[in-house]
A and B are shown apart, each in its own frame.
Chain A
Amino acid sequence: MPVITYREALRAAMSEEIERDPNVVLMGEEVAQFNGAYKVSEGMLAKYGPKRIVDTPISEAAFIGMGVGAAMLGVRPVMELMFFSFYSVAFDQIFNNAANLRYMSGGLVNCPIVIRGPANGGTNVGATHSHTPESIAAYHPGIKVVVPSTAYDAKGLMKSAIRDNDPVLFMENTLLYGESGEVPDGEYLVPLGSAKVMREGADLSIIGHGRAIQLALKSADLLKEKHNISAEVVDLRSIRPLDEETILASVRKTNRALYVEESKPFCSVGAMVAAIISDKAFDHLDAPVKRLTSIDSPAIYSMPLEKLQLPSVDRICQAALETLK
């Protein structure tokens, strides 16, 4: 199977959808002439022209809101936020308009928009540029939230997101853009709302999303090697809709769960998953559900300290061992 990067997988997904559906448009700051701040859209302007690949001014509230309005009339905008952190500039458009339109119109209005961009820390860009708002976004009924951790999922989920008739917030990761993985040529879809067991195990379930999954897989290797612990790793891939069944099946098998994510702990995705597990699989648990997040403060700039603040293989292994005590 061909091996391509996460970045190329996203580009392939958007390109295929642009070719398939004349209503799909990619828009955002520097996506066209500059080829994307992180080069996700490289070459797309040359290939698809300025009607389909559009540079916007630095006006997130206006262009995201414009995308919501255009979506009502059947355009399918894919809106790039250079950093997902800038979603807060467009907060009202996303969470008051996009999220509520369908409901407030009694189902008369649809909003098929994708809002995408990198949402991660770990590159020392400081507190304003390092937000991980998965749980904030998923809190809002009407909004869907997707966080791919591999090139394969990046492509399959992006294609599904573009075809989805609801607003989808698609959170990528600058540290994953260059990571390669096997991606088949041509058409395939990964449905929203299906988690994936990345590695089978028997002693505990490490559940998570985003880049934390890559760390969890490395941690699972180490746990096996050093402690003969067999960890199952489950990647949610999609936060809302959420694949409760895959999570619960894994916990029923291993009887222990650790949720790993890069967000802050308060009301995080892990907090939600822990609540679901204790609600629906309480009798299967041999230990409380454990959560590992970033240390609870705004993102620190200082290089070695940001490493400490974020989840790491060390911290994951330690948390896993505590869960198994």
Chain B
Amino acid sequence: MTKKTTPAKKTQVAGYNARQAPINARLGHDELIALYRDMVRIRRFEERCLRSYQQGKIGGFLHLYIGQESIAVGCVSVMGQHDHIITAYRDHGHALAVGMGMNEMMAENYGKYTGCSKGKGGSMHYFDPTRNFWGGHGIVGGQIPLGVGLAYALKYKGRKGAALAFMGDGAVNQGAVHESYNLAALWSLPVLFVIENNGYSMGTSQDRSSAGPSLAERAEGYGMNWDIIENGHDVLEVRDRVAAALKLAHEQSLPSVLEIRTYRYRGHSVADPDTTYRDKKEIEDYKATKDPLMFCQNQLLAEKVLTQEIIAKIEESARAEAETSAQFAEASPFPTADDIQKDVYWEADNPADRKSQGALFFS
């Protein structure tokens, strides 16, 4: 069964230049370099994760974000202190972007007690509420209603913030996503639905999974603002366009659907041999022309913001940071058998304040 396609509506005005947008034009050298550095750190961390996975140190799934770094870094860089973020299982990039440490992340992947979720969640389930990061979710589309809930809570409490709820191009076909769109639009909730469109959901290309001219345009049916960010590899373009939607959320409590075009270099997860559904050439072409790190590096080199020395330093320190995290994870203890039944019920973990009676656990 194949669908008929009509070309996507152009959302970008002619002559648009993301670098010149006010939100980017005012960036100082340090801020520009920080954007680049954050993307490099994500990539080197994940490359180190891959090695650990291959050494059998990491179990289960490992979904790498390599190729998509500009999105997490761009989005988080325009978030304010009352903005919140939630995403799916491909969560390493968002976690590093919000400021989580490589040590706690790598330790989580190793299933260690020093991990961000004490080794209970694994790579797909990172959380850091202190940084407004609400996970890391394994069920496709399952996090999107929660994102709406974050927005609802912000509005309820009268805080001037918004929620960014990330999903993939495959997740848009879950019923919960559509129900969420309706609630957000109906109740004017300050939420940005951010679709990281990397072209594939596992081995299924967007064409084979999704009807309609574009994913973002589905927002029309709900009377919601939407935008397609074609150059998702350009961290500055991501910043500018996401900031515009964020402004709508902050100032008018309006939701948006943002579709950001991007690409993943690795298989769906490390277990996917990635040999059946796309050409190697497609990957190579993207890397050669649109790699987010390379694109940013070239731009900043041309502007003389970056120099070869600075790049080398950033590289060296990102690699060292990732290596240290692997050593930290390796040296950390596993949880103990007693930990298995901790963190299940608040009351069981806080026996002094327990109000209910009766057995909570069974055997």
Contact = CB atoms under 8 A, between A and B. Distances in A.
A302 B138 contact: no
Residue from B60, B117, B201, B361 whose CB has the most chain A CB atoms within 10 Å: B60
B362 A266 contact: yes
Contacts of A107: none
Nearest to B208: A55
Interface in B118-156: 119-122, 124-125, 137-142
B277 A34 contact: yes
Contact of B120 (A58, A125, A302): A302
A29 interface: yes
Contacts of A58: 140-141, 170-171, 173-174, 201, 209
Contact of A301 (B122, B174, B362): B122
Nearest to B109: A301
A34 B60 contact: no
A128 interface: yes
A230 B117 CA distance: 44
A301 B60 contact: yes
B101 interface: no
Given A89-B174, A300-B340, A301-B122, A33 B276 contact: yes
A304 interface: yes
A300 B60 contact: no
Interface string A255-292: 00000000011100000000000000000000000010
B137 A308 contact: no
A100 to B, nearest CB: 20
A86 interface: yes
A199 interface: no
B60 A123 contact: yes
B340 A308 contact: yes
Contacts of B363: 265, 291, 293, 295-296
A303 B55 CA distance: 14
Given A126-B60, A303-B59, A62 B111 contact: no
A309 B335 CA distance: 12
A162 to B, nearest CB: 23
B59 A33 contact: no
Nearest to B118: A302
**Which label, helix, strand, loop or mixed, suits the secondary structure of the A interface?**
loop
B341 A295 contact: yes
A50 interface: yes
Interface string B65-100: 000000000000000000000000000000000000
B202 A302 contact: no
B199 interface: no
Interface string A123-135: 1111111000000
A297 B341 contact: yes
Contacts of B117: 301
A305 interface: yes
Contact of A296 (B174, B334, B361): B361
A125 B176 CA distance: 23
A125 B120 CA distance: 10
A301 B277 contact: no
Contacts of B334: 302, 304-305
B337 A305 contact: yes
A89 B59 CA distance: 25
A22 B3 CA distance: 25
Contacts of A37: 202
Given A125-B60, A302-B112, A303-B59, A297 B340 contact: yes
Contacts of B362: 264-266, 296
A108 B193 CA distance: 44
B111 A86 contact: no
B173 A57 contact: yes
A126 B122 contact: yes
B100 to A, nearest CB: 17
Given A33-B203, A34-B202, A305-B337, A125 B119 contact: no
A34 to B, nearest CB: 4
B175 interface: yes
Contact of B203 (A30, A50, A123, A129): A30
Interface in B315-336: 334-335
Contacts of A35: 276
B361 to A, nearest CB: 5
A59 B337 contact: no
A296 B124 CA distance: 22
Contacts of B340: 295, 297, 300, 305, 308-309
B204 interface: yes
Given A126-B60, A301-B60, A296 B120 contact: no
Contacts of A222: none
Interface in A33-80: 33-35, 37, 50, 54-55, 57-62
B335 A302 contact: yes
A35 B137 CA distance: 26
A309 B342 CA distance: 13
Contacts of B175: 59, 61-62, 89
B13 interface: no
Most buried by B among A62, A291, A301: A301
B209 A301 contact: no
Nearest to B112: A302
A44 to B, nearest CB: 14
Contacts of B170: 57-58
The 3 closest A-B pairs by CB, nearest first: A124-B59, A302-B111, A301-B122
Interface of B: 1, 59-61, 111-112, 117, 119-122, 124-125, 137-142, 170-171, 173-176, 201-204, 208-210, 276-277, 334-335, 337, 339-341, 344, 361-363
11 contacts: A34-B277, A37-B202, A61-B175, A126-B125, A127-B138, A128-B139, A265-B363, A266-B362, A303-B111, A304-B111, A305-B337
Given A300-B120, A303-B59, 5 more contacts: A33-B208, A126-B124, A301-B120, A301-B125, A308-B337
